[in-house]
Structure 1
């Protein structure tokens, strides 16, 4: 296993800005001190993913993913710790010196990394064949130039060519020491089998005599290939793609996203096309915010990829009516994913690639601007034309449009779309609302196994299987509150339990709540939290929070292992002349330590600036650290006393000799006195003098 010196690791972590790194994968927006986005690790429509620049960590309050800058790369890319460090080193121009390894040792580092390595090598091999061999230049490069692609585009997308030979790639890989098993795992070579499905021992290249389109993940690593044959009347498929592998899952990949992600974020818009050449031609025409589904049906994974960078998608279609109808389901999925969807059509016979080459860059951009229309309006016009004067077809067309409207999460947008549909079909809006609510009830009923359990109904129509009380309006199904809405509700006096049901109004707490955590664990957690967040803060001249807490805790046992371990790490940092900082401990080798540090250091809610605007002073924990530290120590001591008292009282239930009985009684008396004193100091009992 490769080893990176600690000095280099420290340098990488010091230079890596978590906002810059995370910002390469999601679109962050500042709210208060932190940055927020929709989580890249799970599907969500309201942002619950927070980045704290001052602490150098991220935390998702939805799925629980958390950590520092290295952990983020490990999570998003599925790489090892070492590979994540290399990624960051490359980004920040830091040289990483490792122990020298043979090609075989490098490949054996782990299965996944080895597949990345051979895929990257194959990309370079194909690119070299395209530019520097007679066959590559005369066939592959000639084709690309014929399609109008220049040298810059070819290099930007690292296009290549595979020689029309059975084993060129395999033989070259053998000479350089790359193991065939990784070429097979990535689908670069194929095993020939006999009629019984047994391995014949023969291997050959998958891609032969084809222009190669490397497929990159969002960090720029090659994970697979698309390949186009150039042979006329070839019986094989025109396009051939890499098979699924450990590093390539086509349902989670969009061609061109690596090259387009910054432009998508800047333009706040993603153009979605079908083919490789569509992406290449538009990118060359200075329309860089374009990606392709590569001819596959749109998937949830691809939609989540787009939503990392923008909420706005414009789908570019050719004029083929059959192709448009086949793609409508995919656009419904975009709507369901919370994206704002528009559509641009091109004249019959043209696709984005052919049209931009025909009319030029500027006229193409003008067409994108002038021909863009909202998808619901586009679909309404399309099905209305097809239905014409046929009443049956018209009714089905209306239901088809209503199904798409039902995918839109925003209730205001749904209402607007219903009004537009009413006008387009010349049908009363209330009739549409009634039909829409019927579709919602049917859909939710099927989802609940036949029980109508709610839905996103409109216009006051009942969407629940139970009848409302007489004279009462039906209650809509609650939607989850966003973190910002929860914070605002809490600011105005709601308790966390009030928010248990979510929705537009405060709900009664759920009866099936999670069990109350162990009191001992909670007290230990609070002490460690204060130590972690406020170590260098002064409590008195030359006495910091860290020094005070560790001195007070010198003889106090911790019962929860991980809190004891973190306390020990903090003590070690202090003994070595360093403050126990979140930025340091978040990079610890133990994943449970990293997760705990992230959890303790992340604050879900921030105080609204409205309090300051209205000149209302709200005390902060930072202003009351002495009280917070004293209370944490007192509570921990009290829970330890109570635990020991319970042990002693339990002992009295068993037979004891006189001496043991007296010793227990004396200890119990002392423990009760200590417990009362601690309770008085905490203010949890009323002293007799005050009664």
Structure 2
């Protein structure tokens, strides 16, 4: 990866105006201190996408996308961190000078750049031949026009034509000064070998007399080509693709994604087809959110690409029975990747390209909307029809469908699909559930028609394991699979904490919901209790948001909080890392800056900072006109810090107390018993002391609603009396 000096990165981030950058993609309207707009990453009617100019952060409270100005460019353009920085630098006229690389790094970068450059030259050369040469116009352009493509589509996808000549591209490239070895490395030319496989020294163009389809990566750079011959020769492959190279990996590229990526985000669905012309015809017909696997089997890399832009994919199947059967195996991977998969089947003999040319754009769009169905329902109906009345085929078909259902990560969806499958095949649902549980318990099981290797679905928690959420009909409790668990909602977690319960999980059992408490803290291994994380997060939030603000004369929030602990007070690893980053900033003479921290190269740190620094709601200024004063941590940072530190230390005390009480459950000698009882007594005293101070602080907060100044005067410097010296 290219390296940009940290000072230059900071300069780019400080210069970039997030309102201007986001405003290039959506229309922002001010409401309170923030600006709002419909989210550019998902469809919505009421704006939930917020931009905070002061902190240079954005967050969508609908889909959860969040980050700083660099992250926004990465999200909206689908680029890397370095590419996003270069985008901003170019926008604001900042010259980017990358740090010097090692000789090996520089050599590798030069090799890749040279291949990109020669591929771009070939693209331009083929495109020029299509539109300006006699052969290109009469044969290549004539064919594309016959297929219904207009000039705008041809130019958008930069289509071209290769002359029916052995060395046209090679001569043009040499004349332009390009090294022949890069033509060979990208597969644009081929070396002729003799019968013994030895290089004869003769080279010729790989693509000759073909319509050229440039293949772009997500940044729009040409990485390879697909080429269709127009000759009627059974010995010649109709389509010929570039071979794998340093810049072209078939498994990580989708044809048309560069042109479709923004439409996929906007429409919240990706249409997946098979061929180049399918993409071109649908794009020209107004369906711009379409990509193709280019005739290759669908790969995990391609699925990850789709998921970057949408969780929804609709596969458009040709009306060909053999093709459908082959495609079914690959579509299971989409389910395993956590995507919501729907299917459209065209009439027999038609593919998306031929059908849209036959019925027109509007009727085609209507057909897709009317004929779309979820993949499991489609597959169940298809295999049930093929199995007909043959009991053996029917049993195999049911198991095949169950393998697909096992790849669905969501437990509720799996249950719905099992119910549908039961109705389609006319088989008791409990029998299906029993068979399903057997299937997912067998790690070596693999259906004859499955795609790839491994057991039936191994994606996420619950999918493809015994944690299916479906009860077994076995009378043995031990043989019954554990139900799939999901995290509590915010409301459920708050309720649990309010009433002093232990952390719980919510399980789906049959069609109902039940709550199962987990083990208390003393019985856990090293799991962190939720309350500890909540308290740690609050201390970190104050540190990040108000670092330079003074709590006392010449004492900042950052210095005040960092001075309360001899070492990192956090057990949550990410919070501890963030604490250390802030501490190092302060030691270097700088205050931690949320604006810069939110541009960190690490995605987990960017996400954390954004969550800490953004809130969906603001306190209305109208409250200030009323007699009741709402506590404002901005005006009383010391009280806010004291409360946060007090709560964190109280949780530490309670945690130590729980551990000491746990020791009493085990046999102890007299000395150990005496020491443990003494420790428990001391900890209970500290816990009671913390409780008294907590009540004192609640009184301070109540008083602050009437007069913040009098509250600060009445309760000065209390935090010093409630530090227990327990550290972490």
- 1:601 corresponds in structure 2 to 609
Does the aligned pair in 1 maintain the 2:159–2:214 contact within 8 Å?
yes
Q: Residues of 2 paired with 1:78 and 1:268: CA distance? A: 19
Name the SS for the 1:294 alignment partner.
Answer: coil
Partner of 1:391: 391
What secondary structure does 1:436 align onto? helix
SS of alignment partner, residue 164 of structure 2: coil
Q: Deviations over 1:491-535 (max 9, x none)?
A: 34559997699977453368553899xxxxxxx999998665323
1:148 shift after superposition? 0.7
Q: Alignment partner of 1:116: what SS?
A: helix
Pairwise CA distance, 1:143: 0.9
1:251 and 1:302 in contact (8 A); partners too: yes
Q: Alpha-carbon deviation of 1:110?
A: 3.6
Q: Does 1:534 align with 2:534?
A: no
In the alignment, does 2:371 pair up with 1:371?
A: yes
Separation of aligned partners in 2, 1:373 and 1:346: 13
CA distance in 1, matches of 2:19, 2:409: 34
Residue 154 of structure 1: CA displacement? 0.5
Q: Which residue of 2 aligns with 1:316?
A: 316
Look up the SS of the partner of 1:214 in the other structure: strand
| CA distance in structure 1 between the partners assigned to 2:360 and 2:577 by the alignment | 67
2:716 matched to 1:683?
no
| 1:476 paired residue number | 482
Contact 1:79 1:113 in 2 (8 A): no
How far off its partner does 1:587 sit? 5.7
CA contact (8 A) 2:130 2:161 kept: yes
| Distance in 1 (alpha carbons) for counterparts of 2:164 and 2:216 | 24
Cα distance in structure 2, aligned partners of 1:18 and 1:194: 61
Gap runs ≥5 in structure 2: 27-33, 42-48, 60-64, 98-105, 447-453, 457-461, 508-514, 530-535, 569-575, 621-627, 647-716
Q: Contact 1:34/1:53 (CA < 8 Å) preserved in 2?
A: no
How far apart in 2 are the matches of 1:425 and 1:86? Answer: 57
Contact 1:226 1:241 in 2 (8 A): yes
Q: TM-score, normalised by structure 2?
A: 0.65
1:246–1:625 distance in 2 versus 1, CA, 3 Å? farther
Aligned residue number for residue 140 of structure 2: 140
1:489/1:317 CA distance change after superposition, 3 Å: same
- Higher mean alpha-carbon deviation, 285-294 vs 229-238, is at 229-238
2:472 to 461, 466, 469: 461
Aligned to 2:494: 491
Q: State how far apart, in whole Å, the 2-side matches of 1:568 and 1:311 are.
A: 39
Give the total of aligned pairs: 584
Alpha carbons 1:631, 1:682 under 8 Å: kept: no
Deviations 1:61-100 (A, max 9, x none): xxxx99855478789978684x54333456xx5556679x
**Which residue of 1 is the match for residue 259 of structure 2?**
259
1:66–1:595 CA contact under 8 A, matched in 2: no
Q: Which residue does 2:16 correspond to in 1?
A: 14
| SS of corresponding position for 1:224 | strand
Please say if residues 255 and 292 of structure 1, whose CA atoms lie closer than 8 Å, have aligned partners that are also in contact.
yes
Q: What CA distance in whole angstroms lies between the structure 2 residues aligned with 1:34 and 1:487? A: 24
Aligned: 1:401 with 2:401? yes
1:588-627 equivalence runs, <5 A: 598=606, 601-603=609-611, 625-626=637-638
Distance (Å, rounded) in 2 between the aligned partners of 1:35 and 1:211 = 43
Q: Distance in 1 between matches of 2:56 and 2:237?
A: 49
Deviation at 1:6, TM superposition (A): 5.6
Quick one: structure 1 residues 67 and 361, their matched pair in 2 at CA, closer, same or farther if it must change by over 3 Å?
closer
CA deviation after TM superposition for structure 1 residue 12, in Å: 8.8
Q: Distance in 2 between matches of 1:215 and 1:298?
A: 16
Within 2, Cα distance between the matches of 1:51 and 1:199? 62
- Contact 1:107/1:117 (8 A) holds in 2: no
Q: 2:526 aligns with which of 510, 513, 519?
A: 513
> CA separation in 1, counterparts of 2:546 and 2:380?
59
Q: How much does 1:324 deviate? A: 0.7
Partner deviation per Cα, 1:585-637 (whole Å, 9 max, x = no partner): 6668xx6xx7897477354798898999xxx9997865663256689999xxx
Structure 1 segment 23-422 matched on structure 2, within 5 A: 55-56=55-56, 69-70=69-70, 81=82, 83-89=83-89, 93-95=91-93, 110-233=110-233, 235-422=235-422
Within 2, Cα distance between the matches of 1:196 and 1:500?
A: 70
1:580-595 superposed matches below 5 A: 581-584=593-596
CA distance in 2, matches of 1:201, 1:73: 47
**Are the aligned partners of 2:17 and 2:56 in contact in 1 as well (CA < 8 Å)?**
no
The 2-side partners of 1:12 and 1:170 are apart by 47
SS of match in other structure, 1:236: coil
The Cα shift of 1:311 comes to 2.8
Query: How far apart are 1:194 and its partner, in Å?
Result: 4.4
Whole-angstrom CA distance in 1 between matches of 2:580 and 2:328: 57
How many Å separate the matches in 2 of 1:123 and 1:628?
A: 61
Query: 1:300-324 CA distances to partner (integer Å, 9 max, x unpaired)?
Result: 2222222223233222122211111
CA contact 2:384–2:397 (8 Å) conserved in 1: yes
Q: CA deviation at 1:181?
A: 3.8
Alpha-carbon shift at residue 435 of structure 1 (Å): 2.3
Distance 1:426 1:633 in 2: 62
SS at match of 2:316: strand
Task: Name the SS of the counterpart of 2:212 in structure 1.
Answer: strand
Name the CA distance, whole Å, in 2 between partners of 1:133 and 1:497: 78
* Cα 1:568/1:377, change in 2 over 3 Å: closer
1:640-687 residue CA offsets vs partner (Å, 9 max, x unmatched): xxxxxxxxxxxxxxxxxxxxxxxxxxxxxxxxxxxxxx999252459x
SS at match of 1:170: helix
Aligned-pair CA distance for 1:210:
1.5
Is the 1:225–1:241 Cα contact (8 Å) retained in structure 2? yes
Q: Is the 8 A contact 2:118 2:182 kept in 1?
A: yes
Task: Give, in whole Å, the separation in 2 of the partners of 1:183 and 1:68.
Answer: 41
In structure 2, relative to structure 1, the CA distance for the partners of 1:429 and 1:286 (3 Å cut) is same
Distance 2:485 2:308 in 1: 22
* Helix, strand or coil at the partner of 2:245: coil
Distance in 1 of aligned mates of 2:10 and 2:615: 38
CA distance in 2, matches of 1:371, 1:77: 31
Pairwise CA distance, 1:427? 2.5
Listed one character per residue, the Cα deviations across residues 156-208 of structure 1 (whole Å, up to 9, x for unaligned) are 11111122223332333333333344333332233444445454444333222
